Structure 1
Amino acid sequence: MNHQDQGGSAGGPLAGLKVVDMTTSYAGPTASMYLADLGADVIKVERPGAGDDARSWGPPFVRDTSAWFASANRNKRSVVINLRDPRGLRTLRRLIGEADVFMENLNPGKLASLGIDHETVRAESPRLIYCAMSGFGLDGPDSALPGYDLAAQARSGIMSVTGPKGGSPQRVSSALSDVVTGMCAALAVSAAVVRQREHGDGELIDVSLLDSDLAVMAPRIAAYLAGEPEPAPSGGTDSVLAVYQSFATADRDLAIAIGNDPIWRRFCDVIGTPELGADPELADNAGRRVHRERLVAAVTEKLAGRTAAEWQKILGEAGIPCSLVQGLSEVVEDPQVVARGALLPVPGTGGALHSVHSPFRFGSIPRPRNTAFPALGAHTREVLGEHGFTDEDIDTLIAEGAVQEGAR
């Protein structure tokens, strides 16, 4: 079976694109996974022994596989290369020389010492798309600092607006910086591929965790620079819109999003507070923000009289956006989530491991590519053979420790 077509529909808009991916952890692997979902052939280059750092992230582990690792590495092939061995480094450079895209998240000094920094590589391969992923970008005083999700959330201001009112700043409890950075990198690479295919031009793409988190914070930064007071943790009650937060009902929390004035008036009618809808001081969003505490108190009192499910039905029938505040045990069984096929069981794990469908769907790809994460070094021999190495060459490289072969 052709590796391009395993586990899903044939082709995809990036079919025929060869990506050599040296990234580890979560942001880079997320980016290359989205490219693979779109049809690219992603060759995951890993170090001997442990491989990608995320292979050890856990628990939970299922048959020694990290759930985190499995969630970001579908549709790829794994090659193990020893970059401390000159023959291994030459092998990597051969793979890069035949690639369309090269992705890395290594320290700039390490890249230069190996001769795979962007200046050297792109001088040799002008049509190559070189995607450099880092914590803080390729320039600036802190470009050499290592970057992790927590540091990016802290430095970008995300933590400064997250947490309970009056409480300490908190990290958004998911790999937010990594996933958003992965999306940004996949977008940038896809755009560069258009020009590469039309004109043969290469590109240097600079994507960082900090820049991605600043993009997440764009509306808050813009509001602050326009004169809004510096925000602090508010428990999610300080939106530019009012009302736009969760409320306690008789049994559980319900999130309600009042996006415009007509929705506000309908909302007041259906919850039994027509006087609020008729109050000229609350007629527009600016007024509702000024009087947020008063109207939130009134709404809270009303909503306490019924269960969240009752309110969800009432508000839904009136066209008012709302949702139960769901835990993950509910999310994974949500009828919309299930109907959209958002959860992808990892093949061969009996449903014990899952990844999540990429956040886009193509009409021309009715069934998503969904091959399991690769075992460490599972494709070393296969990939090297495709790049002109003979069986004897590969046997020699393996015997001398320049590359390693794993179980399929």
Structure 2
Amino acid sequence: MSKKLPLEGIKVLDLSRVLALPFATMILSDLGAQVIKVERPKIGDETRHWGPPFLKTESAYFLCTNRNKKSITVDISKKEGQKIIYDLASICDVFVENYKVGELKKYSLDYKKIQKINPTIVYCSLTGYGQNGPKSNLPGYDFIMQGESGLMSITGSPKGPPMKVGVAILDIVSGLYATIAILASLYKRQKIKQSEYIDLALYDCAVSSLANVASNYLVSSKIPKRYGNAHPNIVPYQTFKAKDKYFNLAVGNDEQFQKLASLLNTDALKQDKFKKNENRVRNRKELVKILQEVFKTQNAQYWVDLFQSHNLPAGHINNLKEVFEDKQLLARDMVKIINHPFGLLKIVGTPIKLSNSTITEPKSPPLLGQDTINVLKKLLHYNKSYIKHLKNQNVI
């Protein structure tokens, strides 16, 4: 049996910008979908300009989420630009956008209009706060949502200021939720030939990502505090300082703690008050102080090697140079080198590995509007004179 792309034949019309939904459509493209990225003429996706660093004129930020896509430039404020979107929507399976609530309605590109053109379209909207509610008119940014959702209130040192996560993690989480919702809607459409409107909010996705911390509050009504690199429910599960540098240790259950106590051979760890996790949580400060005194006697490499050799979860805190030189990462084919018009480009590969299907071999993120003419000719069958007219009118 020959391996096939899971989403082969699926077409995605992508009117999104920045990170969250471009991340989602990149995943869909990895799985074989054809993604047509619609950008503003001359300007494009704003992340094209978010640098340095740049590969000549293309920002590294843009390059990280736009592989495999086709880029066309269309002025959607013009009637003829809207017609291009209508024509593309009529032959696409998925429509993706992250404009402010109601903004696309001004251009007659809202769900109701697109659904009339394509009665089986899967239409995904991502906004800051969703399509309804008192904050629905406000813009959505990952950093703002990290604060509003409570994520920053539980991130950082107990004595320091609230901290955001070092990457736009809520954009990534929202992109993953969007991918899940789109795939579920496509699966449903195979059985019921009807459209689907997906209303996603960065805020909702952010709160959903709080997982056990949100559950802790809802069950106890106690406002969670910041634990730095420690865990609110499991001890010891945090960063420790070795003789030379920091490392991470994650003791997830009582059996693992007994193994740790045996390896360290320290009488203080064998006390009854440390045998059960609930007691270790109550006696966190005392236990961490005992462990820290032990760990500062050897280098981090010693402790990581010791614990890993006994199947105790421990690891280094790597910088990005160390990450991308890691033999494990290379063995998993997670670093790809592709040809870009401006030179060789290294990118992070997809983490999705399938046994009986293939994944799209990564193609260069597109230059702004590089596929406009080709898409209009081959997909929409526009003739040369009409395309020339669109160019002269600055529609494309």
TM-score range, shorter chain: over 0.9
Quick one: percent identity of the two aligned structures? 32
Matched, 1:125 2:118: yes
Find the residue that maps to 1:108 and give its secondary structure: coil
Conserved 8 A contact 2:89-2:117: no
- 2:308 corresponds in structure 1 to 316
Q: State the alpha-carbon separation in 1 of the partners of residues 139 and 54 from structure 2.
A: 26
- 1:5 corresponds in structure 2 to none
- 1:378 corresponds in structure 2 to 370
Q: Write out aligned runs for 1:111-150 (5 A).
A: 111-150=104-143
Aligned length: 394
- 2:277 corresponds in structure 1 to 285
- 2:217 corresponds in structure 1 to 224
Q: Write out aligned runs for 1:103-182 (5 A).
A: 103-182=96-175
Matched, 1:250 2:247: no
Conserved 8 A contact 2:82-2:109: no
Q: State the alpha-carbon separation in 1 of the partners of residues 189 and 106 from structure 2.
A: 28
Give the counterpart letter for 2:62 in structure 1: F
Q: Write out aligned runs for 1:9-408 (5 A).
A: 11-227=4-220, 229-276=222-269, 278-348=270-340, 353-365=345-357, 368-385=360-377, 386-403=379-396
Q: CA deviation at 1:179?
A: 1.0
Find the residue that maps to 1:370 and give its secondary structure: coil
Conserved 8 A contact 2:29-2:360: no
The TM-score normalised by the length of structure 1 is: 0.93
Q: State the alpha-carbon separation in 1 of the partners of residues 344 and 320 from structure 2.
A: 16
Q: State the alpha-carbon separation in 2 of the partners of residues 124 and 217 from structure 1.
A: 39
Conserved 8 A contact 1:19-1:42: yes
Q: CA deviation at 1:122?
A: 1.6
Q: State the alpha-carbon separation in 1 of the partners of residues 249 and 344 from structure 2.
A: 34
Q: CA deviation at 1:301?
A: 0.5
- 1:20–1:366 Cα change, 3 Å: closer
Give the counterpart letter for 1:329 in structure 2: K
The TM-score normalised by the length of structure 2 is: 0.95
> Structure 1 regions of 5+ residues with no counterpart?
1-8, 404-408
Q: State the alpha-carbon separation in 2 of the partners of residues 39 and 221 from structure 1.
A: 36
Q: State the alpha-carbon separation in 2 of the partners of residues 352 and 58 from structure 1.
A: 18
Conserved 8 A contact 2:4-2:358: no
Q: CA deviation at 1:215?
A: 1.6
Conserved 8 A contact 2:36-2:71: yes
Q: State the alpha-carbon separation in 2 of the partners of residues 313 and 301 from structure 1.
A: 19
Conserved 8 A contact 2:119-2:194: yes
Find the residue that maps to 2:103 and give its secondary structure: helix
Task: Report Cα offsets for 1:358-406 as digits up to 9, x if no partner.
Answer: 3322123456420000111111111112112122222221222211xxx
4+ long deviations beyond 4 Å = 349-352, 365-368
Give the counterpart letter for 2:204 in structure 1: D
Conserved 8 A contact 2:14-2:96: yes
Give the counterpart letter for 2:322 in structure 1: E
Task: Report Cα offsets for 1:329-373 as digits up to 9, x if no partner.
Answer: 211111111111112234237876433223322123456420000
Conserved 8 A contact 1:70-1:354: no
Conserved 8 A contact 2:3-2:358: no
Find the residue that maps to 1:314 and give its secondary structure: helix
Find the residue that maps to 1:347 and give its secondary structure: strand
- 1:260–1:351 Cα change, 3 Å: farther
Q: CA deviation at 1:188?
A: 0.8
| More divergent stretch after superposition (387-396 vs 77-86) | 387-396
Conserved 8 A contact 1:12-1:364: no
